[in-house]
Amino acid sequence: MSSASSYGPWLPPVAGAPGGPPAPPGRPPADGGEPRWAPSSAWLALLAAIAFAIFGAVVVGVVGALFGASFRDAPPAVNIVATVVQDGAFIGAALLFASRAGAVLSAQFGFVRTRIVPAIGWMAIAYLGYGVLSLVWAALVHTHEKDNLPTSLGVNESTAALVAVCVLVTTIAPIAEETFFRGFFFGAMRNWRGPWPAAVLTGIVFGAIHVGSAPAVFLPPLAIFGFMLCVVREQTGSLLPCIALHAINNSLAFGAAQHWTAGQTLLLMIGAVSVTMLVCQPFVSARARAA
């Protein structure tokens, strides 16, 4: 386990870290210290993630073409695999640039336990705020567009495609995007001007990164959602509530896009949150440890 001091002397002691001031009430102490990532590394990691994602998508497309798939009009299987590779690119970029500051600690990405009741409270506050502001935005722009990502990935082509896209949207995407944006990007940007400017910038980037996968009118609400997730991350000291809330939101969107009943969507939400938490569990600890 690396100590906080190994991340460089250019930042002041962090609340909850050895030698630093006490952690704020309700925030779990970071035994390995808050991340000492340079703010510039957030932007470099973002560019690297985009480059990795594009390269990965091209490779998947070429491999698909070698097996008879159309490169220009790729089948669902190719699109789904390419999207999974792109999600992996974001995690890979986060780990790559985090490692430049020293040992990579899962706790510094936010994979730590937190109190459940306050976490649920902050999740509810954040989602309520996001919902209200999204409704205001929809009223201002008079939008009636719907999310077409599941359809573009081929959910209507087969049951296998439906299941694969469902898993991708409700479990893989929340883990990958939260690890990068609220885990690394927000963590690095906090070292620039503190949490609130970092939350605003992270929200804007989170909305902008969805260009091409979501209608342009959806980008401001996505930016708001990204900001609210940063609030949850900051107030709970953990990435787990962010992943859970992201999974809930994507499950609601997926269920609505597929015209599922309220009961079916609720089951999807419960399943998505359960699966994401199980996947994250090996990396979670009350104390920091190497990722």
Q: Does 289 fall in a domain? A: no
Confidence at residue 73, expressed as pLDDT on a 0 to 100 scale: 80
Number of domains in the chain: 1
Q: How confident is the model at residue 14 (pLDDT cuts 50, 70, 90)?
A: very low
Flag whether 291 is in a domain: no
Tens digit of each residue's pLDDT (9 = 90 or more) over 104-113: 889 999 999 9
Label residue 21 by pLDDT band (50, 70, 90): very low
Output the pLDDT for position 68: 85
Tell whether 290 is covered by a domain: no
Region of 26 on the Ramachandran plot (φ > 0 left; ψ -120 to 50 alpha; else beta)? left
CA distances from 93 to 135, 261, 289 (A): 34, 38, 20
Region at 73 (left for phi over 0; alpha for psi -120 to 50; beta for the rest) = beta
Q: Average the pLDDT over 239-259 and give the result.
A: 95
In the prediction, which pLDDT does 159 show?
Answer: 86
What is the Cα–Cα distance from 188 to 184, expressed in whole angstroms?
6
What pLDDT, on a 0 to 100 scale, did the predictor assign at position 148? 63
Would you give the DSSP letter of residue 14? Answer: P
Comparing 233 with 29, which gets the higher pLDDT?
Answer: 233
Q: What is the pLDDT of residue 145?
A: 64
- Can you say whether residue 218 is alpha, beta or left, with left for phi > 0 and alpha for psi between -120 and 50 degrees? alpha
- Percent of the chain clearing pLDDT 90 (strictly above): 64
Higher pLDDT, 14 or 136: 136
Domain of 228 in residue numbering reads as: 4-283
Residues 182-201 have pLDDT tens digits of 999 999 999 998 999 999 99
pLDDT tier at 167, thresholds 50, 70, 90: very high
